[in-house]
Amino acid sequence: MDTYSSRVIAPKAPFDSEAAAKDKAIDPWVRISVEGYRFNKDTENEMRIKLVNLFKSCGHVSRVDFPTELLLDSRAFVTIFGEGAKEKALQLNGSDMGGWNALVKFAPKEEDEEYQAESEYKQFVINELLNDKRFRFGICVVGYDPSLLEDEVEEALTAHFSSCGVIIHVDVDLLDKMTSIYFSEEEGEASAMNLDGSEVDGFKINTMLVPTTARSNPPRPPGETHCGYCAPGSLSKLSLEMSEDPVRISVEGFSHGRPTDEIKSELINHFKSCGDLISVEVPTDPILESRAFVNYHGHLAKERALQLNGSDIGNWKALVKFAPREEDLDYQVSLRYHRSLYSDLANDKRFWYGIAVLGYDTSLPEDQVKSILTEHFSSCGVITHVFVCTPDECTNIYFSKKEDEASAMDLNGSKVGGFKITTMLLATAISNPRLAPGDVPTVGYSIPAPFLEFAREINKKRDDYMTEWRVKARREIEGHQGEEGAGFQGLVIRRSPRP
């Protein structure tokens, strides 16, 4: 991957003391809504910076969220931590933002119908999973042949561990090249752990315990942790599934010559009763994709939407189908490229060892912060990258060697320009691996700090790549127009679900 230069908001590093953690935990936070702006994806980052600058005097601006569907909600939301943040923010109502005035209101998330419905459903699913005895005892397996297909991995590992006890669930993660295997009894888990170092088809495997609800897995004490709480393995997978669109429905039958907003409005009104509607996507290029897509959160949304197949929407009939995004070639190509970018970043040695620095003079401009901290830590070793996160008042500094990282940690409590600084370890691609065999499963996986820093740039690279890919795909389709079976066969893959 080439040089990274993005500037994104990343969360602060972990607390350096229990007292600090307690103080932070009780800090009040508020969510403020902002209206009056004209939203454009191309200027989203510029608008985010404007809102951060507007509200930073009110407290610590934790995040800025923009609407995913303007017809459902046109507001931006700013989350602020700090005493009196609500009152200070509301005083900024009517502020001149250069061409528009900010309409500022208090907007607690708990009042949103979508939030309430989604929270209730998520809590229901989580409780069901936490009480599911299938996921109480399990191991993680790595080291097997990574070239195998998912079904082949499951078959080989199931056969290998079948003598340990009753296997009730197997989850193969092709991206991380690891597989979680769950047993009905704790004895089965213990027996499986004893197979650490054994061979599967000539490959030496390693086994390690999976965090589950049957074990205590709190975060390590302050000073020992890279980051956060280790959720049970089954919940980690669930969180990924729930963060994506749970239900996607395709709709055909409308005329593509009509205005996009008009079609989108019709679809929202027609399908909003089926569940918690997230967004509606109307194709901008009907040659590449003639379907519109309606995305939902919500139990039974799929069944309710499919019942509207053949229903009248104005002067046209809706052809409604279940359309999981994973079946689209477009999605698969995008996912593969996206993962390759993160893989490149994970293997970039410039970001293997690093620290977070807090407590310096935050009134200084970014370039000065970078300069003084680089000079302060230059004696520790070769500095490979410095990222100043102004909104979080935190700077990440990376080194070429682990010994350099350790030397930098020794400067915790030293002074920079008269300010006492705090240093703490960063989560990196190698500083928070899966638990080693025999380790107590108290800490899980933390997103590496570089992944957060370069997320926006990686997403842009993916979007640019997919724009080029779609242009090529469109040319290919146009070149085959008129041939029987042409059209969208090359763009949509239908796969049979696994039994």
| Residue reference for tokens 């939902």 | 296
Where does the chain hold its CATH 3.30.70.330 domain(s)?
Answer: 18-115, 137-209, 244-323, 327-480+488-499
Q: Which fold has domain 137-209?
A: Alpha-Beta Plaits (3.30.70)
Give the separation between CA 222 and CA 356, rounded to whole angstroms: 14
pLDDT in tens, 460-494: 898 899 888 888 887 877 776 655 444 434 333 33
CA distances from 59 to 96, 376, 424 (A): 20, 28, 23
User: pLDDT at position 61, please?
Assistant: 83
pLDDT in tens, 184-202: 998 999 999 999 999 999 9
User: pLDDT at position 459, please?
Assistant: 87
User: pLDDT at position 91, please?
Assistant: 93
Q: What is the CATH number of domain 18-115?
A: 3.30.70.330
Average pLDDT of the residues in 111-116: 61
pLDDT of residue 10 exceeding 50: no
Q: What is the CATH number of domain 327-480+488-499?
A: 3.30.70.330
| 354 phi and psi angles, rounded to 5 deg | -160, 165
Average pLDDT of the residues in 140-163: 90
User: pLDDT at position 156, please?
Assistant: 94
Q: What is the CATH number of domain 244-323?
A: 3.30.70.330
User: pLDDT at position 132, please?
Assistant: 76
Average pLDDT of the residues in 332-344: 85
- Quick one: pLDDT band at residue 8, thresholds 50, 70, 90? very low
- Mean pLDDT for all residues in the chain: 77
- Quick one: pLDDT band at residue 442, thresholds 50, 70, 90? very low
Classify burial at 8, counting beta carbons within 10 Å of its beta carbon; exposed 0-12, middle 13-18, buried 19 or more.
middle
- Quick one: pLDDT band at residue 113, thresholds 50, 70, 90? low
pLDDT in tens, 393-430: 899 999 999 999 999 999 999 999 999 999 988 888 87
User: pLDDT at position 229, please?
Assistant: 42
* Cβ atoms of residues 24 and 16 within 8 Å: no
| 117 phi and psi angles, rounded to 5 deg | -65, -45
**pLDDT, greater one: 350 or 283:** 350
Give the separation between CA 304 and CA 68, rounded to whole angstroms: 23
Closest CA to 33 of 115, 86, 107: 107
pLDDT in tens, 26-51: 346 788 989 888 766 567 778 888 89
Cβ neighbour number for residue 275 with a 10 Å cutoff: 24
Mention every residue, 6+ apart, whose C-beta is less than 8 A from residue 9: 48, 52, 63, 64, 389, 391, 392
